[in-house]
Amino acid sequence: MTKYVILIPCFNDWDSLNFLLPKIDKVIENADDNIDIFIVNDASTKENNLEIKNVKKIKNIKVLNLKKNVKAQIAIASGLKYLNQESFDGGVIVMDADGQDDPSHLLNIINESKKDLKKTIVVMRSQRDDPFIFNVFYKLYLLLALVFTFQYMKFGVFSYISSKSIEKILSNNDINKAYAGSLAKNFNDKKAIWVPRRKRIVGKSQNNYKSLIHYSLKIISVFRKQVLINSIALMIVPIILFMFKFFPIYCVIFIIILLLFNLSIFLVNKDVDKSIKSIDLLKNVRNLEILKN
């Protein structure tokens, strides 16, 4: 029997969790494995109002309360570091609290993980129900990521990793920039499962286009060295064309865009490195709250 922990970073999404936890409980009601819930409360400003009376199959529900808000990526890292410190042995499934990561596919992830408990599993988004403009930006991000990192990163935090892989993913600063980017960089041999991405259960997303663009840059910044190498390679042709006075203005514009893109990646990376230096993940833990045991 394998033990699993579903790790959920949460910032003010308690109402969503009140819908999500019973759904998870229903999905896993016939599972033979021990499946616990581990919520990382990222210093929410709203009071924890979780109702767990309708949760029966899940035996353990714990909330790791953080002192300072660190955003979702670092909250995930905090949860993983805490589990590693407690010598957790099993599988970790990471998913969002807002319900966009469909819990109905949890058994697919669990069954797939049993084929090789050490192999990382990412959940690819087969479709998204988003506004047209958002889809345009998202496809542009996928293209840029593919060209500059050689990675097709059509996945977010919804994933599975073995407890044996926690030290590896925490061994560098990549997870603090973007958990998805860290998965892509640190685990080459990954299994992909394709599922649709759902709408939020309740409320509106706290993200806007500015924050989504910033997050996309953070994901790509995980591969900043590869981005620089690929950018230099892409500059060769326009430089040659410029030397022979072919399309000089367009060549200059293209080179400037590449330089600005790399500068943006550098600044985003520097900003994250600076912010994380002042945070000790375990010292930022206020307490562990046991809701069900």
* pLDDT tens sequence across 225-280: 999 999 999 999 989 988 888 888 999 999 999 999 999 999 999 888 887 877 88
No. of H helices and E strands in the chain? 10, 8
Q: What angle do CA 263, 178, 204 make, to 5 degrees?
A: 105
Q: Which residues pair with 91 in a beta bridge?
A: 4, 162
Statement: residue 206 has pLDDT above 70:
no
Statement: residue 166 has pLDDT above 70:
yes
Structure token digits, residue 140: 């542009």
Nearest to 289 by CA among 29, 3, 90, 14: 14
* pLDDT tens sequence across 170-183: 998 899 999 999 99
Q: What angle do CA 83, 169, 227 make, to 5 degrees?
A: 155
* pLDDT tens sequence across 14-50: 999 999 999 999 999 988 899 999 999 999 999 999 9
* pLDDT tens sequence across 51-89: 988 898 998 999 999 999 999 999 999 999 999 999 999
Using CB atoms within 10 Å of the CB of residue 77, give its burial: 0 to 12 exposed, 13 to 18 middle, 19+ buried.
buried
Query: In angstroms, what CA-CA distances link 283 with 65, 143, 145, 287?
Result: 11, 39, 34, 10
Amino acid in position 48: N
